[in-house]
Amino acid sequence: MAKAFIHLIIQVMSEKDMIFKVWGLSTGDSTRIIEKVCPETLEKSLLTIHRYLCFLFPQEEVRNNWMRRSNGAFGGQRPIDLILEEGDRGLVTVENYLAGAMQR
């Protein structure tokens, strides 16, 4: 019964919804991101950012909290706040930052 329920939830939730949930974002923040970022950029960049985080941070807790922690690379802002404020540009900035970290 539990497996069937989990399978149903996974089918209903989109990938972006699952990523927002894993990152611990509020419904309000998730909705604001969806409203501020063009759909094509959102889908591609969210998946790419999530993949980068999985590679860079093997510890699940660190990986899932990264978007909500202040970061000196973004002037002390949390990556999620950068996205909320700048929309597409903020999302691409976070993605590019993580791409650079993958090269180090």
Closest of 44, 22, 42, 18 to residue 32, by C-alpha:
42
pLDDT in tens, 13-27: 588 888 999 999 999
Distance, CA of 25 to chain centre: 9
> What's the token pair of residue 87?
């929309």
Please give the helix or strand (H or E) that residue 42 lies within, else none. Answer: helix 39-56
The pLDDT mean for the chain works out to 89
- Percent with pLDDT over 70 in the chain: 88
Predicted model pTM: 0.84
Q: Report the pLDDT averaged over residues 45-63.
A: 95
> What's the token pair of residue 11?
């089918």
Higher-pLDDT residue of 4 and 16 is 16
